[in-house]
Amino acid sequence: MVEETQTLTLDRSAKVNIRNLNIWYGDSHAIIDCNLQIRKNNVTALIGPSGCGKSTLLRSINRMNDFIDGCKTKGSIDIDGTDIYRTTHTNVNNLRKSVGMVFQKPNPFPKSIYDNIAYGPQLHRMHESKEHLDSIVEESLKRANLWKEVRDRLHDNAFGLSGGQQQRLCIARTIAVDPQIILLDEPCSALDPISTNAIEELVLDLKKNYTIVVVTHNMQQAKRISDTTAYFHLGEIVEVGSTKKIFENPNHRKTRSYVSGEFG
């Protein structure tokens, strides 16, 4: 079912190279023979109906699946030529530092806005002084388009922010540890349209510096923000291509019916 022409040509310029990936949750086969290249400074959208394995694939890129009981992974994911499933334990933490993740529901820590951002740099001892840490926090918030809104209340509890602000805070928190790839797992599904718009603009902005993979249920969103789109169905990648092609002239019948809203 895999589109051969696209998956079998090895793209040397790809940031992430997923090859023959299979993931099982216990007995259920969640990802079947997945091959996917993710290009640098691109937004790659993963779309597909619920339960098709988009989030599983996303979580496998920074090995968050390791925390799930009974999850088994076969195959390889290369990031810049290094197979992340062949590293020792300490390196997994470094991997998660370089491959940041933003979750479906905003999940700030129950601390101040400042502490939320500073937590990552403090963990990895990235700052040389208090002033340096302050500047990292400011820079991250600026990149997440949140600085103007929170500059006067950096030491207030993060729970006081609105949902959209909280989600941007989570993005800023991810940026603070200086990742190369940012994984967004349905980042707007819990947000209102205005906050969604803010996040989308932010994603387009972040593209310049980071490689972004986004899982979304919202096809219009995928169309608006992504360069490449991969369509999933029941654990398999049905079609990968430029967003324009997937939405306007897909090769596959299933893709066509999904993007035209016939099911999903």
Q: For binding to other proteins (CB under 8 A), which residues are involved?
A: 62, 64, 67, 69-70, 93-97, 100-101, 103, 105, 107-110, 119-120, 123-124, 159, 170, 173-174, 177
| Core vs surface per residue 77-88: b (16+ CB within 10 A) or e | bbbeeeebbeee
Q: Which residues pair with 185 in a beta bridge?
A: 215
Rounded to a whole number of angstroms, the minimum distance from the CB of residue 123 to other proteins is 5
Tokens of 107: 């999940």
> Which helix H or strand E contains 5, and what residues bound it?
helix 4-8
| Chain centroid to CA 75 | 20
Residue whose CB is less far from other proteins, 53 or 106: 106
Q: Which residue has the tokens 């109906």?
A: 49
Rounded CA gap, 113 and 93, in Å? Answer: 23
Q: Judge contact between 196 and 188, C-beta under 8 A.
A: yes
Q: Which of 175, 249, 165, 186 is nearest to 208 (CA)?
A: 175
Rounded to a whole number of angstroms, the minimum distance from the CB of residue 172 to other proteins is 12
Q: Judge contact between 83 and 95, C-beta under 8 A.
A: no
Tokens of 28: 């259920």
Rounded to a whole number of angstroms, the minimum distance from the CB of residue 2 to other proteins is 29
Q: Which residue has the tokens 């339960």?
A: 51
Residue whose CB is less far from other proteins, 181 or 203: 181
Residue whose CB is less far from other proteins, 67 or 263: 67
**3-class DSSP state for residue 228?**
strand
Residue whose CB is less far from other proteins, 37 or 167: 167
Rounded to a whole number of angstroms, the minimum distance from the CB of residue 148 to other proteins is 24
Residue whose CB is less far from other proteins, 64 or 238: 64
Residue whose CB is less far from other proteins, 162 or 251: 162
Rounded to a whole number of angstroms, the minimum distance from the CB of residue 109 to other proteins is 6
Rounded to a whole number of angstroms, the minimum distance from the CB of residue 226 to other proteins is 21
